[in-house]
Amino acid sequence: MTETETSYSAADITVLEGLEAVRKRPGMYIGSTGPSGLHHLVWEVVDNSVDEAMAGHCSIIEVTLLPDGSCRVSDDGRGIPVDKHHQYEDLTAAEVVLTVLHAGGKFGGEGYKVSGGLHGVGISVVNALSSRVEVEIDRHGRRHAMTFINGGQLDSRLAEIGEAPDNRTGTSVTFWPDAEIFEETKFRAQTLLERFQMMAFLNSGLEICFRDERDETPTETVFCYAGGIRDFVEHINASKESLFSVVGYFSQEEDDHEVEVAFQWNTGFNTDGLHSFANGINTIEGGMHEEGFRTALTGVMNRYARAKGLLKEKDDNLQGEDIREGMTTIISVRLGDPQFEGQTKSKLGNVEIRSLVQKATNDRLAEWLEEHPSEAKRVLQKSINAQRARIAAHDARKSARRKSALDGAGMPDKLKDCSSRDPRESELFIVEGDSAGGSAVQARDPRTMAILPIRGKILNVERARPDKMLKNNEVQTLIQAIGGSFGEEFNVEKIRYHKVILLADADVDGSHIRTLLLTFFFRQMRPLVEAGHIYIAQPPLYSTVVGKEKIYLKDDHAKDAFLVEHPNHKREFQRLKGLGEMDFDELRSTTMDATKRTLLQVTVEMLAIADEIFSTLMGENVESRKKFIQANAHDVRFLDI
């Protein structure tokens, strides 16, 4: 940069120091410099456009991944203000928004009423962590442009570059994530798609268009839902068999608080189909809005059931879980000053929201029931059945506990346990089939590795109530071996292994078993998944020989990479059929030995979406399962949720 282009004042220097702080400790602002932090940059820019939409000024947001590694976010909002900024005399407002931490919408006009508090670190953070940022602003009939390089240094100041076509207004931000900051700068389309779909559901009428133009075959996906969260509920239930076709809905506003609820029941047995959001952020840990809803739901349904004689005087009240069985609910609240608490800052703490949601649900759900008598009756019949099953499961559980107290330590016979009693270093390999189980026992380090062979297909818990599930041998064995109980009682502090590793073949049967196991963990031991204790072992698919050395290759990708590195290789590869064909030495060195193996950690990025995927894969609706598997057959990462 030459001196004639830009000269810095004292104010500019404080600005640069601010951005320097972000570059020094990126984790403080975006959580990490891994994939989650990288995608955070996109959320940050898109959130600004969504704020503009929530304020009623923007209807289309376009996000494009370009071949040069950049990401462009364009909107048709009012455009970032381009006039001189009152505090930084020599900078324009737009320059301030891009270079001052937390400058976002806090000036000019009334700013924003509500904005996503979790990602709201400001677009300047994106600038600080990018090697280049280009901004174009259409406002007052003119198009303006500016660019920044090397983490927020002004490269060319804001200047008019021509007319705004058709007198349009809007903002376009293109950024190149800095390779010196991020471990990996390649965006994952699936991650972006899932979130954009969720954002479109939560902002009815908003169009989000995603384009991936990184390779020769560009793709475009448009999300736009006139019905908002009603469409969200319908979408989740599309993979299940719904109890009736209407989707319940109500909304209520008070001061600067707004609550919206959509709900529908399906014929399934899950009690955790409740998903909540605050200012567009998925509150995975729940909070006051969920509390208010649950309390009111239980009250309203019991009152209705008594009033209509569906529950007799002698009958017990329905419990919340009875009513929530098979219920899919989306709660979305918007509020001026959201307090995010909890371990992952995803629990809504605002107490006033609890009574607002409770009151709205009390009034409006009762109305809905009166207006939909036949639906109401079906729901209550289902709840009463659930109540009976719950009582039966309680009895079954009691006798199961008594039984395990009788056989000493209560460990299943099939478990070959490790000698260590420290869960932090202990690993449980769940192995498909008795014979592979035998090799795994020989291949293991008996101090830290336990082996549990399971035979054939475990019960599909997606399609069974808890009382039936508990009678299944494989399920009992799993629960006993892992420790920490299951369902509502599950306690992740009591687990006996910090790594639970699924070891199954790379073929269709193996992937079915993996999915059944993941469904079980997702539904019955979810904290185990959330805490990152579940892993998938990756036995190699190919072997080949170089000189005297046998080399194992994980998959086709690894094979291609190998051929690039060894262009003269004779191309003789052996396709390994499965675990059963490896001797224990091979199994140890390729798959189990902690110094050589690769494990895929299973994470739950987005529970609302993961819920849908599990229902699709494991639920009743065969057609949607078929479609899902066909659509994702090429992409094994769908298990990486």
Give the footprint of ligand 0RA on this chain (CB under 6 A).
48-49, 52, 75, 77-78, 80-81, 97, 105, 108-109, 123, 171
Rounded to a whole number of angstroms, the minimum distance from the CB of residue 49 to ligand 0RA is 5
Shortest spacing between CB 627 and ligand 0RA, in angstroms: 36
Our answer to whether residue 507 is catalytic in this structure is yes
Quote the Cα angle for 470-471-472, to 5°: 90
Any alpha helices (H) in 56-103, and if so which ranges?
93-99
**Which is closer to ligand 0RA, CB of 80 or CB of 154?**
80
Residue 475 CB, nearest approach to ligand 0RA (Å): 50
Q: At closest approach, how far in Å is the CB of 239 from ligand 0RA?
A: 35
Widest Cα–Cα separation across the chain: 88
Is 178 tagged catalytic? no
Of the residues 213, 321, 341, 509, which is catalytic? 509
137 vs 296, which CB is nearer to ligand 0RA? 137
DSSP character string of 162-211? EEPGGG--EEEEEEEE-TTT-S-----HHHHHHHHHHHHHHSTT-EEEEE
CA distance 75 to 170: 5
Taken in order 225, 229, 231, 237, is the CA torsion positive or negative?
A: positive
Contact 182/54 with Cβ under 8 angstroms? no
Kindly report the number of other CB atoms within 10 A of residue 2's CB atom: 5
505 is catalytic: yes
Alpha helices in 483-583 (DSSP H): 508-524, 526-530, 556-565
Strands 207-212 and 60-65 come out as: parallel
Contacts of residue 58, Cβ cutoff 8 Å, sequence gap at least 6: 49, 52, 75, 76, 77, 78, 170, 206
User: Which residue in 136, 178, 432, 586 is the catalytic one?
Assistant: 432
Q: Which is nearer to ligand 0RA, 169 or 252 (CB)?
A: 169
Look up tokens 């687990």; give the residue. Answer: 495
**Closest distance of CB 106 from ligand 0RA, Å:** 8
Q: Is 277 helix (H, G, I), strand (E, B) or coil?
A: strand
Which three-class secondary structure state does DSSP give residue 261?
A: strand
Q: Which residue lies nearer to ligand 0RA by CB, 77 or 273?
A: 77
Question: Min. distance of Cβ 196 from ligand 0RA in angstroms?
Answer: 15
Which residue's CB is nearer to ligand 0RA, number 125 or number 506? 125
Distances (CA, A) of 580 to 338, 436, 487, 551, 597: 54, 5, 33, 19, 18
CA angle 117, 132, 53 (to 5 degrees): 35
In a 13 Å sphere around the CA of 67, the CA atoms on its Cβ side amount to: 4
Torsion 630-633-635-636 (CA) sign: positive
User: Which is nearer to ligand 0RA, 97 or 356 (by Cβ)?
Assistant: 97
Measured from the CB of residue 61, what is the shortest distance to ligand 0RA in angstroms? 9
User: Quick check: is 445 catalytic?
Assistant: no
Of 48 and 358, the one with the shorter C-beta distance to ligand 0RA is 48
Minimum CB distance to ligand 0RA, residue 47 (Å):
9
Q: Based on CB atoms, which residue is closest to ligand 0RA, 148 or 614?
A: 148
Active-site annotation, residues = 432, 505, 507, 509
